[in-house]
Structures are given as C-alpha cells and as structure tokens.
Amino acid sequence: MPDLLGVLETCLYVEEFERACPFYEQVLGLNSIYRDARLCAYDVGGRGVLLLFLRGGSLAPTPLPGGTVPPHDGHGPVHMALSIAADTLADWEARLAEAGVAIESRIKWPRGGESIYFRDPDNHVLELATPGLWPGY
C-alpha cells in the first residue's frame, strides 16, 4: 500500500469572512495565500493549509480549468488543533489574552504535551498543542 505523506488541507466553515479572517490573521498570525468569494486559504507553518469556506458557499460543484471540486459544507462547532513549540505556550497564552480570547480548557497529556483550547468567532474549538500529544509529535 502506498504511504500517506500528511494532512495537506484542513477546512472550517464560517459565516462571514469579515469576522473570521481578522481573527486568523491578527490573533493567530496566519498569512493568506489565496482568497476568492467562497474561500480564504492560509499557510500554516509551511506544512499545511487552513481553508476557511463561507458556510453554504460550496454546495454546488466548483468547475476549475483542471477539473471540478465536488460540493461540500459543514455545520456546527468543529475542532482543529495547531502544533506549537513547547517553549512558546506562555507566549501564545499572552497573545490570546491580549486579543480578548478566553482559554476554555487546558490539558497536560500523559506523553508530556500540553494543549490549550479556545474558540474562534464561529464557535469552532481550536487547540494549540505542544509536542508530546501523539506518538511522533
């Protein structure tokens, strides 16, 4: 069986870009690498891409020059974790506090990693996790 190399894209569905994009750009410091009327794409550490889709904006097939993207959508507060270096956890906690973002939960994992959980403007549960959460990370 051929190997999978990693997760390339993660998608979240948002109500409006005017509320969601400033959060991801200003609070989390992500850089937009593509934007159109239905999605905004962000580079995540040069290792993956976070796609923010307008909820309901991708219910029809999306024809592109090289093929067609099938319809998709999502509802409800989903979860996504972002990896951080262990020595930056306190800096992230301070950055979130300065932005008025409440930390909802903290976990110290059996392997030694730590996670903090908070919510974005669309009520998605975001996690910042240090190494030691999963085997190999």
Give how far Cα 16 sits from Cα of 22, 29, 54, 83, 121, Å. 11, 19, 6, 26, 10
Q: Which pLDDT does position 126 carry in this prediction?
A: 97
What are the CA-CA distances from residue 46 to residues 30, 33, 100 (Å)?
Answer: 11, 11, 27
The pLDDT value recorded for residue 43 is: 98
**What residue ranges of the chain have pLDDT lower than 70?**
none
pTM (two decimals): 0.94
Residue ranges covered by each domain of the chain: 9-66+75-129
Cα 115 to Cα 108: distance, rounded to the nearest angstrom: 7
pLDDT digits (tens, 9 = 90+) for 109-126: 999 999 999 999 999 999
- Of the CATH numbers 3.20.20.70, 3.20.20.450, 3.10.180.10, 3.40.630.90, which one belongs to the domain with range 9-66+75-129? 3.10.180.10
